[in-house]
């Protein structure tokens, strides 16, 4: 995204984007950790099914949405404290 276009975004969106990115990465790391640990045999189920990639995509999407929303919520709730620190 170009710098000129990014400046056109509302301030709250510019404030939330880094949190969204961090939360999304944390969600993907959590999915990778679950698959690496093979919790509940989920990795085996995905690998031995012809459409296991759909399950992986749905799982990754769910975790990205959940962790990204959690990070944005934390950023929004800390807005008041950030203003007081200035």
In tens, the pLDDT along 65-79 reads: 999 999 999 999 988
Phi, psi of 9 (to 5 degrees): -70, 145
The reported pLDDT for the residue numbered 9 is 86
Question: pLDDT confidence of 1, banded at 50, 70, 90?
Answer: low
- Can you give the pTM of this predicted structure? 0.80
The reported pLDDT for the residue numbered 6 is 59
Question: pLDDT confidence of 81, banded at 50, 70, 90?
Answer: low
């Amino acid at each position: 995204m170009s710098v000129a276009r990014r400046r056109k975004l509302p301030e709250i969106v510019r404030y939330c984007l880094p949190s969204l990115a961090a939360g999304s990465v944390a969600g993907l790391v959590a999915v990778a950790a679950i698959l690496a640990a093979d919790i509940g045999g989920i990795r085996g189920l995905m690998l031995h099914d012809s459409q296991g990639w759909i399950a992986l995509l749905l799982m990754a999407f769910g975790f990205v949405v959940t962790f990204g929303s959690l990070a944005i919520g934390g950023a929004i709730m800390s807005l008041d404290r950030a203003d007081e620190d200035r």
